[in-house]
Chain A
C-alpha cells in the first residue's frame, strides 16, 4: 500500500472550515483514499473515502486532485467536538483489506 504524508498539527477556529491536506504521491490506480479520525482514548471513526471523484457526506467533503497524488478533507463548519487526530490512508480494495495508520494530523478547534 502507498504511504501518506500529513502535517502533524493544525488549528482551526470554531465555525470555520477545516481543510486537512494529505499527500499520497505513490498511490496506485486501484487504491482508495480513506479518512478516519480518532478522538482521544477512543477507537478511530470512519469519515469518508474516495477513488478519484470528489465525495461528500454528512460529516465532510473529500477533494482528490486529478492526478490523485494528494487530497484534502474538508470539515465545513468545525466544532470543538471535531478536535481529534485525523488519519489519511490509502488502501486497495479486497477481502483482506488492511489499513496502515501513520501519525495523522492533530486538529485542534479553538473557541
Chain B
C-alpha cells in the first residue's frame, strides 16, 4: 500500500535561517506531488506541484522553493525564513494516471521566531 512520510512534525526556526522540509512517498511510482501551506484559521494554499523529477510549478510567488531530486521525494526549502513563513505545511501525492484523490501527509508545524 502507498504511504506518505513528512518530517519534521514541528519546527521552530529563527528569522533569516534556512529551511528544508522533506516528503517521501512509498508504494507508488511517478506520483504527482504537492506542497500546501495553511495559515492559522485559513484554508489550504497550494504552493508547488510536480509531475516528475526536476519538474516544479509554482503557484504563488514567495520566499520558498521546491525541488524533486528523486521520483518519490519532494523538498520544500527557503534560504532565509521570514516571520510570514510560519504555518502548517502539508505534502500530498496523487497518482499520475486516472488520479482519484490526493493523499496528504501529517503536516509540519513551522513557527518562525
Contact = CB atoms under 8 A, between A and B. Distances in A.
Interface stretch (A19-27, A64-72, A73-81, A87-95): A87-95
A94 B100 CA distance: 10
Interface string A93-106: 11111111111100
A63 to B, nearest CB: 19
A104 to B, nearest CB: 6
B43 A99 contact: no
Interface residues on A, range: 20 to 34
Query: Chain B, interface size: which category?
Result: 20 to 34
B101 A103 contact: no
B90 to A, nearest CB: 5
Contact of B107 (A34, A43, A96): A43
B94 A97 contact: yes
B49 interface: yes
Given A49-B100, A93-B99, A98-B49, A44 B32 contact: no
Contacts of A45: 104
A99 B34 CA distance: 10
A41 B110 CA distance: 12
Among A43, A49, A94, chain B packs the most CB atoms within 10 A around the CB of A43
Contacts of A103: 42-43
Contacts of B57: 96
A22 to B, nearest CB: 14
Contacts of A94: 99
15 contacts: A41-B88, A42-B107, A43-B6, A43-B106, A43-B107, A44-B90, A44-B104, A46-B102, A87-B44, A94-B99, A95-B51, A97-B32, A97-B102, A98-B34, A103-B43
